[in-house]
Structure 1
């Protein structure tokens, strides 16, 4: 796949105001304070931005000391957790995976599969799934459908991202203005909840169920100040009673009070979690964490969901892995006077799981030290 590298400039000043919630709580996430940066982001150790047209030298596969010769997959495993058993850098999974043509769906891994580690004729490490037995089947009367008992393991923990997969909405100002909106309920109330009937203008409705979102604050790109869109705050669902102008809906599964002006959108089908694999972004990709999606905690930790200011326009795709670096800082020299610039240290890894045009949603896979809003994300 041809990937367009990130070309966003990193300015001397960071300005950010975010309000995002996607998932199970209708609260706004932590917001970073606006303050100048001390210096440019830290350079990557051991790598440099290649000159135009120069080939990218692959990073050698880094194995764990004495990787297991075999491993039996168990429920609860993820592609990332399995990769960590064999690799120091889990995003190098593609470089050692060998698809066994004798195995049905060789690119998927199921609980009960036995993974075999070996070296090929040239001495390169490889991992493959042993030939598996037939997966047990459940036959449903009257034999309308046959289903497998187990599902392929996902790349990341399902419960960490499931609530965001179909509730991750980012639109530009024009798209928000064109979306259908609630104008009132049937009882002159200011706020609405479950089982309340509401009236909606601005759409032709042909689906039985819709999601209700409220526009949050704009996502502003650090440095450039560019508006990257407005993330939606998930409020609940609405069932269509009668189409018209206005259309009539009944609210259900609300997680916070709904108000006039909240918008309705068709429910997006959940994409398969196992449809991507960990792999690194290109060497010259640079961005920032601009929002945190877990409002119940103040810190960004392992399995926190965040928004970064890189999206499809930079070639990002689900499965892309980025390293997280803290901001560099300047301190006073206690001996000779003057100032000393301290580089930002690597603080963790994240993996992208949903991509919009200008931003992406990512899960923190490793937290090696404190992670903060406005931390840099770049090639691992």
Structure 2
């Protein structure tokens, strides 16, 4: 077995041999690379390794490396071939800025802090804004909000949220259900009797399929002034105008992961698919966020890495049909096509957020998740 050597210890140059089963070098790897601001560990590993998600396997095999996230802009990685391939880190003399992350956390803070996927019943039963100061239609910072169903005490702070998507599963064996996955919610969804209305309709049915959860976005924070029915809250800050029907939830102060270690899943449920986009309409590409139909209840955790395959098209087989008329008769389904890798960075019970790490072509809703080989 080929032994590889990797050095990643801040302030000194150390060489340690490790087993690197499966972590083959790329055929077009560089001999050296200078780390740049904006790089991620995945980007750097992909320049040297055919399977960039295996970088933690190499680094964690080195007892000298206490923290694999010790590469900084200006550091130089050199590849030598003395007694086999060796990757060495030459730290820059004056390190400035932050260490290189596994994924661009600064670009994902909205999804780590301001977005949640919750059980739909929990959202429906949550306290809600019933009115605003001076009977206004919209609320702004510094104004009072009147909330029903609130349990708490004066001085307590709350998050004001608005539902944005509803995620539903579908029947794998029913082609008619194949596109019933992630639906956007009506932008005017702020009714007292119902927190949202789905605007995706098919064959006279709304929201067909298993309920996987409702995504809500934090749009403001408020503080309780007086308890009652309704209670009075002071709006402290907001990213948009608050309106009647917005839900009120406890502030989530849970810290998010600072480090991510890519790793393959132990198993993949048959229903594991891409079900939605965060900032795309028809397709998503590298460094964009997608929603996945698997979550913590399926054994998914942060760092799990999947390959994404697009379903193959079904086309007519004119030869097998033995007909002069093209496009009729027998059909054949083409193989699924690999399109890219996605890594999970936040999980909920039945849904996860993933970041597309690399892609050969656009990722569409319905893309199938497989082992990252």
Q: Matches of 1:217 and 1:104 in 2, distance apart?
A: 41
**Is the 8 Å Cα contact of residues 74 and 112 (structure 1) preserved in structure 2?**
yes
Structure 2 unmatched runs, 5+: 1-19, 173-208, 322-329
Alignment of 1:250-265 (within 5 A): 250-265=234-249
1:71 Cα shift?
3.8
**Mapped pair 1:303 → 2:287:** yes
1:61 deviation in Å? 2.0
**1:110-136 CA distances to partner (integer Å, 9 max, x unpaired)?**
334444556797x5x665655787x87
Question: C-alpha distance in 2, partners of 1:104/1:95?
Answer: 14
Q: Which runs of 5+ in 1 are unaligned?
A: 1-57, 137-148
Count matched residues.
Answer: 306
User: How big is the shift at 1:161?
Assistant: 1.4
- Measured against aligned partners, the alpha-carbon deviations of 1:5-34 in whole angstroms (never above 9, x if no partner) come to xxxxxxxxxxxxxxxxxxxxxxxxxxxxxx
Which residue does the alignment assign to 2:220?
A: 237
Secondary structure of 2:115's counterpart equals coil
TM-score normalised over the length of structure 2: 0.71
Aligned counterparts of 2:68 and 2:365: Cα–Cα separation in 1: 39
1:277 aligns with 2:239: no
Shift of residue 84, structure 1, vs aligned partner? 1.0
- The answer to which structure, 1 or 2, has the higher relative contact order (CA under 8 A, 6+ apart) is 1
Counterpart of 2:58?
Answer: 96
User: In the TM superposition, what whole-angstrom CA distance separates every residue of 1:209-265 from its partner, at most 9, and x where no partner exists?
Assistant: 43221234531112263211111134x212315142244333354344422221123
Task: State the SS of the aligned residue for 2:142.
Answer: coil
Q: Specify the alignment match of 1:30 in structure 2.
A: none
**3-state SS in 1 of match to 2:42:** helix
2:136 to 185, 189, 205: 189
Counterpart in the other structure of 2:357: 365
Q: 1:205 to 1:127 in 2, by over 3 A?
A: farther
**1:85 matched to 2:68:** no
Task: Say which of 80, 85, 109 aligns to 1:162.
Answer: 109
Q: Which protein shows a greater Rg? A: 2
Cα shift at 1:155: 1.3
What residue in structure 2 maps to residue 375 of structure 1? 367
Q: Is the 8 A contact 1:99 1:107 kept in 2?
A: no
**Alignment check: 8 A CA contact 2:132 2:146 kept:** yes
Determine whether 1:347 maps to 2:339: yes
- CA shift, 1:180, in A, is 2.7
Q: Distance in 2 between matches of 1:339 and 1:132?
A: 60
Q: Deviations over 1:292-321 (max 9, x none)?
A: 1115x5431222211111111222111111
1:221 and 2:169 aligned: yes
1:288 to 273, 278, 281: 273
Give me the whole-angstrom Cα distance separating, in 1, the residues matched to 2:224 and 2:298.
42
Q: Which moved more, 1:220-229 or 1:109-118?
A: 109-118
TM-score, normalized by length of structure 1? 0.70
Q: Is the 8 A contact 2:128 2:246 kept in 1?
A: yes
Task: Decide whether aligned partners of structure 1 residues 347 and 105 sit closer, same or farther in structure 2, where only a CA change above 3 A counts.
Answer: closer
Does the C-alpha gap of structure 1 residues 105 and 340 become closer, same or farther in structure 2, counting only changes over 3 Å?
closer
Q: CA deviation at 1:333?
A: 1.5
Give the superposed CA RMSD. 3.1
Give the Cα separation in 2 of the matches to 1:94 and 1:322.
16
Displacement of 1:106 in angstroms is 4.7
The counterpart of 1:210, out of the listed 154, 158, 164, is 158
**Match in the other structure for 1:62:** 24
The answer to whether the 8 Å contact 1:184/1:198 transfers is: yes
Q: Tell me whether 351-360 or 63-72 shows the greater mean CA deviation.
A: 63-72
Conserved 8 A contact 1:152-1:274: no
Q: Which residue of 2 aligns with 1:326?
A: 310
Quick check: 187-196 or 81-90, which moved more? 187-196
Distance 1:128 1:185, change over 3 A: farther
